[in-house]
Chain A
Amino acid sequence: MTAQIAIKAEGLKKVFNRRVVFEGVSFSLAPTQTLLISGRNGSGKSTLVKIVAGVLSPTAGSVSISGPSEGGYFGHQALIGMVSPYLQMYEEFSAEENLLYASTIRGEAYDQTRAHELLRRVALYARKDDPVRTYSSGMKQRIKYAFALLHRPPILLLDEPMANLDADGIAIVREIMQEHRRNGAVLVATNDLTDVDVYDKRITLDA
C-alpha cells in the first residue's frame, strides 16, 4: 500500500512580517527514503515541516502528497504522522483519552489494541490513565509518537525528534524511524547531526 506514496515540494517560499524565512526550496521524497532538513536556529526548519504537514500555507510554491487514500482533507492527513515541539497533547486528558480523541476527531473508530500496543512501545502503558499534565517533558515527547503512529501513516514528519528524550527514548525513536523507512518515508528536521549518514537526502536552510 505504501509503495505509492510520494511528497513533492516545489519552489517553497515563506515570508513572516516581510522577512523571507526561506525561498526556492524544492525536494521530493519517495517510499523508503529519508530526508534531513538542517539549518541554524530561525532558518525555518519547523516552518517547512508545518507547510509539508498542511497546517501552514506557503507564501509561494506548492506541496503535493500523493498516496493511497480516499482523498480530501481526511485523506491528506491520513498520510501524515507528525511529531513536533509545537504539537501539544491535551494536558487535562490521560494518554489514552488523547489517543481516543485523536481517532474520533479523525472520524475513525478508536482501535484500543493499536493504541495499547503503541503505548507499550513508547513505555507509557503503565501511566496511560494519568493526566498528561503529570508527565515529564520526555514522557510528553513519547506520547507524541503514539499520537503520530496511531493511524498507521506512511509518511512521518519529525521536527526535533529526540528533544527531551533520555537514552531509552532515543533508542525507541531510532527503532521507530528504521522500521518506518522500510515501507514509508521519513522527513526529519533537526540540528542534531549525530546520525547524518543514515539519511538519503539532505536540505540545509540558511537563515
Chain B
Amino acid sequence: MTDERVRQVSLANRLLTRPEFGAFLALVVVWVFFAIVAFDNNFVSWVTTAAILNRAAPLGILAVAVALLMIAGEFDLSIGSIVGFAGMAIMLLITPAEAGGFGLPVWMAVLIALIITLLTGFFNGVLVMATRLPSFIITLGSLFIFRGLAVAIPRLMTNRTQLGGFEDYDSGGWAAAFATKIEVGGARFDIAIIWWIVIAAIATIVLLKTHIGNWIFGTGGDANAARNVGVPVAKLKIALFMVTALAAFTVALIQATQLNSADSLRGTLKEFEAIIAVVVGGTLLTGGYGSVLGPVFGALIFAMVQQGIIITGVDGDWFRVFVGGILVLAVIFNNFIRQRASKR
C-alpha cells in the first residue's frame, strides 16, 4: 500500500500522537528530578518505590474509572464521597446490633454495601441523563449528599463517625484479598497494586478492543451523533457512573481491610486528585479523547511528588503548590501535543 500522499511518520511523531505520551514524559522527568535531588534521602530504593506505588494504587483505581467516564464526556465529583459512604456502609452492616449496626456476616455486608454503592452511581447517572444538566453540577450536589449521608446515618445509628474492628469479624479471606503485603527487596508492596494493574488492564482492553470502548469514544466526541448511529448513550453513561462508584467501593474495601476501620471522612478530595491524575494523563476535559494508561501515569506522578516531598523533608505545605503547577503544565503540554497530533 503505497500512496504518494502519505509520508512516513517518524516513530517519535507517532508516539507523540498517543494521549498518554505527555504523562509518560512527565513521569520520567519527575522521577529523574527526585532521583537527583533526593538521592541522599534514599529515593532510588525498594522502600521508596513501594511507598509510591502503595500511595498511587487507590488513587489509580479511581482514576481509571474516572478516565472512562471523562472520555465519555461526563464528570463525577462525588467519587470521594462515595469512598467514605461505601466504607461506612460496609462497617455499619458488620457492626453488631448492640452497637447500633446490623450485625451481618462480612460477605453479606460487603455484597449489600456493593449493591447500595452501585445504586449511588446509578442515581448520579440517571439524574444526569434525565435532567440533561451538566454532570459537574449534579455530582457536585451528590458530593455533599453522599458525604452527608456517610456522616449522618452512622452517627444516628451508632453515635460515631468511625467504625472499627473489621478483622474481628473477617474469617481471613477479605483481608488476604485486599490488604496483603507482598515483600520484595525488603519493602512491603500492597496487594492493591495488583488490583490496580488488573483493573487498568481490563479498562484498557474495554476501551481499545471492544465495541463498548468505541461507544465511549463516540459518546464523548459527540453524544448526538453517537445516538443517531445507534449507540445507547444514556445506558452507557449510567453504566459508567456505576463503574466509578464500583471503583470507589473497591478503594473503600481496600481501606477497610488495610486499616480495619471505616471513617465518614475518608476519600475527601479524592475526586479532585482523580481528575488531576486523569487530566495530567492526557484526557480531554470535554471528552472524546484519552486513554487508561495516561491516568495510570498521572496517579504515579501524583504519588511520586507526594512521596518525594515527604522524604526530602520539604515542608508538606508545598505539596499543593507542586501538584497545581504540574497540573497546569501538563494541560499546556497536552494541548500542544494534541495540536501537533491533529496536524501531523
A, B assembled together = no
- B-side residues, CB < 8 A to A, are none
- A-side residues, CB < 8 A to B, are none
